Structure formats: structure tokens, C-alpha cells
Amino acid sequence: MSKTASVIKTDIDDIGHQQNQKIFDVYNIYRLLLSLILLISSYFGNIISALGSINQELFFQVMVVYTIFNIIVLFRGFLPENRTLEISQFISIILIDILFLILISYTFGGVSSGIAILLMVPVASGSLIFHSRLSTFFAAVGSILVIYTELYINFTIDAGIVYFVQAGLLGFMLFTVSGVLQYLGSRIRQNELLTLEQAENILSLQEMNNQIIQRMHNGILVVNREGKILNINDAAKRFLQVQDNQDEAKGLPDIMTAQLEGWLDDNSTQAPPFRLESSSRDLQASFTFLSTSTDPDSDILIFLEDFSLLSSRAQQLKLMSLGRLTASIAHEVRNPLGAISHASQLLSESKEIVQSDQRLLEIIGTHTKRVNLIIENILDLSRNKAHDTSQIKIADWLEQFISKFSNAQDKTVSIDCKVDPPDIAIRFNPGQLEQVLTNICENGIRYSNKSTGKLSVSIEARLSDNNQNPVLHILDDGKGIPEELFTQIFEPFFTTEQSGTGLGLFICKEICDANNARLSYHSDYKGKSCFQINFANPENN
């Protein structure tokens, strides 16, 4: 038996037990009321002549015993709370009731009094409780005792009229009631089983759907028209930085609320990507009605996608195309370029070259080196594949990096480093992290030197205020980048230097994205120009 079938069977048994208890409680109340009415009526025997017409003393004794028995059974004075014994108790009580009712019917004069019709109640109760052939047994016992009572009255008392036909009809009615109630009870039980099975399947599907929704990489939210969050999955919690113990019934961020209002005004509009913070990921929200747009109370279903992931995939396609392009032109360009560079070197060594032409040869050499550097950067970028990441203790790693970086410079540089708390760890590829920091620090030193005449940068590592993820700041004393160029500095081939290739920051950003980090620029952080790297949780691989 499957787990689901076992659960359904357990539920059916529990429901059946509760129903049997309710039927039996009602039946017990009926039995007590019946016995009390007949017992009280025994005091009016002179008025109601049929009471105990054959044996009034026996009638009174039976009613006293029957009433006491019913009171004890009603209050469960001797019945243990045990499901195994409960069926035996029900059977015993119904059989005892049939016997008492036969005795009462006998004292009234048998079937002719009409009291024997009360046998239908215990037979019907047994049929409702047991739903089996056991209820046919109750009908058989009642029919046999009715016929036996008529035979006994006929042989012991000269009543004059024999009621065997009526006794037989009563027995037929008992069997009919038992059969009909068995059939109805069986159908009801089958319907209950089907209902519980369907309910179990619905719960299973609901749980499966819930697990699927919670594990989706896209965020899903259900909000009302005022922007209050009604339901949210785990991905949306990560995107919107909602804590697990935080009340979900709060409003959307202001930028999403504005997009929701715009979409409600015009359902055909597509909301642009947005960021909750300058250093957070780009998100794309899509809206749709949960039921129908004509329903004024319909909730709104919102799909949140990581737009930076989509952009990254598009970027990967571009890089693949760029890799194919550079691979095809590298041989064609680098060989002539090498020939030009080599020829200019040989020409510069010639004694016949006049001094005025040496400047032209220097220009040729400078630009051939620049073209070669561009090709090398593009090739490195196109070959940039996913590398294994590892957990890095940032304080120790920065100490080694600063020593290595300083020794590689022609002049003495000053690099201040602060890590708070000192045990900060990040997950990144060490070689790629060195490439990123080398590029940014070289830019910082160059612009600090232009602005202050000092070769200096500052590096700070801390934990972010909102999600406690590691953050690295590289600060310099340069004038900073104009605000109108913020959106262009990470684009390929964009540069403000005549000798630059415009690929440095673009490569740094691509490396950070590949390591699940976020590189951004801030023109005024503690009064300095700053590049900021937001790392992912180091516990996530």
C-alpha cells in the first residue's frame, strides 16, 4: 500500500469512528428517552390498558432494568475507551436492545400491539454503524425473536387470533431496512473515500506546486492593487531583500509601486529594468492579473527576473562572436603588425636615418604596441572562461596583493588598507581578483598622481549594512568621473585617456559578473572617488 493510500485509509477510519460515535450517542439518547417514557407510563396502567397487558409485573421489572442499563451506557460508566473493544460493545448493546424490546413487545401482547415495530430502530442503527452483513444478522435475530414470541404467545395464551403474517411482514421490513441502509452506507463510504482521495491528490499537487514555485530562479509575487504583498517566493525575497522572519504583508518598493501604477493605467506598457540600490542587481518586473482584468478586486501576479543575468547571457553571446572574430583576424593582423614593428626597429638602428625621422619611427613603434595591446586584451576577453572559485580570507590576501603590487611599480606607491571585521571572507577566483584590483589600483594611482602629485590609493573591506555580504572599496584622490559618463565607463572601448584601450574596466566588470559579484562606481564616497565591489555570500558556492 502506498503512503498516500495509507493516509487516506487512516483518514477514512478516523472519520468512520467519529461518525459511529455520533450515531451511537444519538441512539443512546433515544434509548434512554424511550425507556423513561415507557417506565413513567407504567404508573398509568389503568388508563393505558395495553401496557403490560399480558404480564404487568414483568413489564415493570424489564423497564426498570432497561432504564438503568441505558443510563449506565449513556454515561459510559463501564465502557473502556478502546477502539478494539468498541465494536464488540456496539454489537452487544444492539443485541441487548433487541432482546429488551422483544420482552416489552411480549408484555404488550406481541406484534398486535405495534410495539415490535420499534425493532427497526436498533436494526437501522446497526446498519448505519457497521455497513456490513452484520446488520443483516441484527435483522435476522429480530425477525426470529418476533416469530418465536408469537409462537410462545399462541401456545401459552389463548388469544384467539394468530398474527404470524404480521410477524413475517415485520421481519421482511427489518431485512428491507437493513439492506437499504447497507447499500446507502456503502455508497456514502465510497463517496467519502473518493472525496478524501481527491483531497489528498489536491494537497499533493498543491505541495508540489509550492515547492516548484519556491525553487524557481525567477521571483514571483502576488500583490493587491494597492501594492501590498500577499505572497512571495524565495527568489523574490532574495531580489527584494526580504528577510524570512519579516512580515510579508508590506508594500512593494517605491520604484515597483510606481511601475505597478503605470501598468494598471496601461496594461500594454513594459516596465524598464530597475535597481533597488546602486550596487544591487538589475531587475525586470512583468505584471499580469491573477484572475481577469475585468474583476475590480483581482490581485496582481508579478514575475521578477534578474535582468543582469539576461544581459550576461547576451554578453556571453557577444563574447563568443567576438572570440570567433578575433581568432580569424589575429593571424591576419598580428603578422603584418609584427613585420611593421620589426621593420621600424631595424630602420631605427640604421645609421643613414636622419635625426628628424627618428620621431616618426617612435610614433610607429608606439602605435604598433598599442594595436598589439588592443588585440591581446580582446583575445584575453574572448578566452575568458569560467574559473573555479574559492573562499578567500580578504585580510591576508590583500596583504600579499599590496606587497606584490607595490614591488611591481617603478616608483614608491602608498596603499592604505583597512579590513573590518578582520575575518571577512569572500568567494572569488584569486587570479581574476588580482587582475581586477591591479587594473583599478593602477587607474587610481594614475589619477591621484594627476590631482595631488601622490601615488596613493586606499582599500577598505567591510560588511554591507543590508545583507551583511562583503564589500570592497578602492578609493583614490583623483577628480572623479563626470556624472554624465557613469553609464559609459564599463562599456568596451570607452576611455578618457588617449593612450588607453577602453577595455580595462569592461574586463573587470565581466570578471566580477562571472564571479557573482557587482562592480560599480561612486563619485563621492567619504569625499573620494571610489570603485565598489559587492561580493555574494561566501557560503554559497
**pLDDT tens-place string over residues 400-457:** 999 888 888 878 889 999 998 889 999 898 888 988 898 899 889 988 988 888 889 9
Give me the domains of the chain, ranges plus CATH numbers: 3-203 (no CATH), 216-308 (3.30.450.20), 310-382 (1.10.287.130), 390-534 (3.30.565.10)
Cell numbers given for 201: 491528490
DSSP line for 335-366: HHHHHHHHHHHHHHT-TTS-HHHHHHHHHHHH
pLDDT of residue 319: 62
Which three-class secondary structure state does DSSP give residue 224?
coil
3-class DSSP state of 503: coil
Q: With 0-12 CB in 10 A as exposed, 13-18 as middle and 19+ as buried, what is 36?
A: middle
Of 438, 322, 314, 335, residue with least CA distance to 381: 322
Going by their DSSP bridges, the two strands 456-463 and 414-419 should be labelled as parallel
Higher pLDDT, 219 or 322: 219
What is the pTM assigned to this prediction? 0.45
pLDDT at 182 over 70: yes
Average pLDDT, the chain: 79
Amino acid symbol at 380? D
pLDDT greater than 60 at residue 39: yes
CA angle (258 as vertex; 255, 264 as ends), nearest 5 = 140
Percent of the chain beyond pLDDT 90? 8
Query: How would you list the strands of the sheet with 219-223, edge to edge?
Result: 229-232, 219-223, 300-306, 283-289
User: Residue 145 pLDDT > 50, yes or no?
Assistant: yes
Measuring CA to CA, which residue among 383, 380, 391, 387 is closest to residue 431? Answer: 387
What value does the mean pLDDT take over residues 391-399? 92
Strand, helix or coil at 525? strand
Question: What's the pLDDT at 205?
Answer: 82
Give residue 10's pLDDT band: very low, low, confident or very high (50, 70, 90): low
Q: Is the pLDDT of residue 346 over 50?
A: yes
Residue 421: asked if its preceding bond is cis (omega within 30°), the reply is yes
Place of cell 515597483: 256
Asked if the model's pLDDT at residue 72 lies above 80, the reply is: yes
Is pLDDT at 383 greater than 80 in this prediction?
no
Query: What is the 8-class DSSP label of residue 228?
Result: B
3-state secondary structure of 538: coil
Run of H or E including 44: none
What's the confidence (pLDDT) of residue 77?
A: 47
pLDDT at 323: 63
Give the model's confidence band at 313: pLDDT under 50 very low, under 70 low, under 90 confident, else very high.
low
What values do phi and psi take at 106, rounded to 5?
A: -60, -45
Cβ–Cβ under 8 Å, residues 506 and 490: yes
399's CB contacts (< 8 A; 6+ apart) are: 417
Q: What is the per-residue pLDDT for 501? A: 63
| pLDDT given for residue 369 in this prediction | 77
* 167 and 150 Cβ atoms separated by less than 8 Å: yes
Q: pLDDT tens-digit profile of 192-249?
A: 778 878 888 888 887 887 777 777 778 888 888 888 888 888 888 888 877 665 555 5
At 147-168, the pLDDT tens digits run 888 888 877 776 556 778 888 8
> Which three cell numbers, joined as nine digits, stand for 153?
404467545
Contact 428/535 with Cβ under 8 angstroms?
A: yes
Residue 352 pLDDT grade (very low, low, confident, very high; cuts 50, 70, 90): confident
3-state secondary structure of 133: coil
Strand-by-strand arrangement of the 470-476 sheet: 414-419, 456-463, 470-476, 528-534, 518-525
- Is the predicted pLDDT of residue 460 greater than 60, yes or no? yes
Quick one: average pLDDT of 121-143?
A: 84
Average pLDDT over residues 20-44: 82
